Structure 1
Amino acid sequence: MRLQTMSSTRSEGRSFLKWAGGKTRYADQLVAAAPPFTGTYREPFMGSAAVFFELAPPKAVLSDANPELVHCFRGVASDPKAVMGKLDEMPNTREYFEEVRRQDVDQLDAIERAARVIYLNKTSFRGLWRVNQKGKFNVPYGAYDRPYYNPSTLLTASKLLQGVEIRESDFGGPLEDASEGDWVFLDPPYIPEGGYSDFKRYTAGQFHDDDHERLAEAMRQADKRGVFLTLTNSDTDATRAIFKDFEVRRMATRRDINLQSAKRSSWDLVFTNYELSGREEELRLF
């Protein structure tokens, strides 16, 4: 396996969404651990795209299997002021939340669809995005008294998304498209650590054990083509076994989604196909 050294860069951008399992809190660490890539940055499990916004790469492809998330990012990229205007019209009440949750998204225009995602993200219980097998959003109302958006954050995000390809796709296509010198950052739904650790219901198709196996094989093939790879996942024996072909470090994390505060502190695993040795303390990787 080809080993490389690291480079880093910083950005003033940050995500406009709070996504369960998102990397906003650790984006600076992950960017500091970036390889010296010269090609395209690719993020096949886009989520909140926290690492993308921290990195602000000159060329990027963002993708996700969640169609509503893709429509949201496209809407923010194309017309953030219209999205903000629509959000300003949406009251934060249980009754209106239930109405929005029941909407047929195919009957909404691009701006309405983008605003719907942000609204549900900021008003649903703990900001979860969870759907049933029919793809219908089914998280209850959260009763939070907070703004839906920060204008500066949303406008900066829109600026950083200009020229970025935003694609609705399973991870397979984006990994196959990656070529030598590209950096692919992978943040899939995690392998459950036990108990209620279910973060796989972002899409109707969900994400299962065989999908992790398929992901590991796609990573091995990309590695052979000279693609730089970084993967985050849960610290379990199963995770280590599935991704055993890659370098691994532990990263201290916090699970805000866990209702029991004593169980919020945890570890993630960070897998790479390039060398991280020598800077573990600086990067807070162990």
Structure 2
Amino acid sequence: MQPTGLRTTSRIPAEKPFLKWAGGKTRYASVLVGLAPEFTGAYREPFLGSGAVFFELGPGRAVLSDANEELVVCFRVVAEDPEPVMARLDEMPNTPEHFEHVRRQRPQDLSDLDRAARVVYLNKTSFRGLWRVNCRNEFNTPYGAYDRPYYNRTTFLRAARALSGAVVRVADFEQAIDDAETGDWVYCDPPYVPLGGWADFKRYTAGQFGADDQVRLYRAMRRAANRGVFVTMTNSDTPFVHELFGGDFHILRLPTRRDINLNASARRSWDVVVTTYDPPVPAQVLVDRRAR
């Protein structure tokens, strides 16, 4: 039985992410926050991405992590001082030539400030903002030719304020979940099980996230639930996910869109929301009777 209690009350107002991450939950963040348990500990997010649920929730205590070191560096630098990041971005032209130059930069040769600006720049100028790297950890998403600003100043500053009290670190998701303590709420948004099979999956880090990692995630969630940690996970609505997670956890279905798909009809789809606790169910979320 999971512990109950009042949710952490020391919160900031809801804010917006400063990055637009492929698969990010900005559009559904309020629904996911509505599924939050009554938790008394810290909020934890082991697959950071754009941090949409974190920004919507505005928790008083948070531990944010990701295996993508560049993303973590970016969040840390923005949290510490967003002004130099914006100033650096103002110096970077949105041209195919400069994009190619930035894309080929070796992060280890850059300062943390330049690494942070590089992440924002590539996120705003690459095709559909997709962060994709090859097995050598080289960014390989093509230029997107978008005529839009790299940042909104108000959003950037508010995001920095929201992040100022959070711990942001590089960590494997399993370790991040194992570090959670009784009363914490962990929200997991892993790379999804591909709808078309594992061969369709793209890399967010140099290591592929495959079926074995989904099993690792399931086992970490079980361990966490056994010690009184609340866990929520989103994933694709596939037989693999239902078979792996449906036996022990609650599964809900959430209507979504896949904006990264060029075919408009293919964008309409379902996600599953898996919880280790009995969740409140907003109107937008339907209980999947197959998992009951």
**Coarse TM-score class (shorter-chain normalised):** over 0.9
Deviations 1:77-102 (A, max 9, x none): 11100000000000000000000001
Say if 1:6 and 1:276, in contact at 8 Å, map to a contact too.
no
Q: 1:210 to 1:127 in 2, by over 3 A?
A: same
Tell me, yes or no, if structure 1 residue 146 matches structure 2 residue 148.
yes
Q: What letter corresponds to residue 221 of structure 2 in structure 1?
A: M
Q: Which runs of 5+ in 2 are unaligned?
A: 288-292
Tell me, yes or no, if structure 1 residue 284 matches structure 2 residue 285.
yes
Say if 1:10 and 1:54, in contact at 8 Å, map to a contact too.
no
CA–CA separation in structure 2 for the residues paired with 1:31 and 1:82? 32
The Cα of 1:144 is off from its aligned counterpart by: 0.4
What secondary structure, in the 3-state scheme, does the structure 1 residue paired with 2:273 have? strand
Q: What letter corresponds to residue 86 of structure 1 in structure 2?
A: R
Say if 1:123 and 1:143, in contact at 8 Å, map to a contact too.
yes
The aligned residue for residue 220 of structure 2 is: 218
Say if 1:44 and 1:186, in contact at 8 Å, map to a contact too.
yes
CA–CA separation in structure 1 for the residues paired with 2:156 and 2:198? 32
Say if 1:3 and 1:274, in contact at 8 Å, map to a contact too.
no
Tell me, yes or no, if structure 1 residue 268 matches structure 2 residue 271.
yes
Q: How does 1:174-253 map to 2 (within 5 A)?
A: 174-194=176-196, 198=200, 200-244=202-246, 245-253=248-256
Deviations 1:137-166 (A, max 9, x none): 000000000000000000000000012111
TM-score (norm 2): 0.93
Identical residues among aligned pairs (%): 59
Match of 1:255 among 246, 255, 258: 258
The Cα of 1:33 is off from its aligned counterpart by: 0.8
Match of 2:72 among 70, 77, 82: 70
Q: 1:10 to 1:74 in 2, by over 3 A?
A: closer
Say if 2:258 and 2:266, in contact at 8 Å, map to a contact too.
yes
The aligned residue for residue 290 of structure 2 is: none
Say if 1:234 and 1:268, in contact at 8 Å, map to a contact too.
yes
Aligned residues: 284
Deviations 1:180-223 (A, max 9, x none): 10000000000011179945410001201000001100100000
Q: 1:242 to 1:178 in 2, by over 3 A?
A: same
Say if 1:15 and 1:157, in contact at 8 Å, map to a contact too.
yes
The aligned residue for residue 28 of structure 2 is: 26
Deviates more, 1:2-11 or 1:79-88: 2-11
The aligned residue for residue 43 of structure 1 is: 45
The Cα of 1:4 is off from its aligned counterpart by: 6.0
Q: Which runs of 5+ in 1 are unaligned?
A: none
Say if 1:3 and 1:273, in contact at 8 Å, map to a contact too.
no
CA–CA separation in structure 2 for the residues paired with 1:7 and 1:61? 16
Say if 2:12 and 2:162, in contact at 8 Å, map to a contact too.
no
TM-score (norm 1): 0.95
The Cα of 1:2 is off from its aligned counterpart by: 3.6
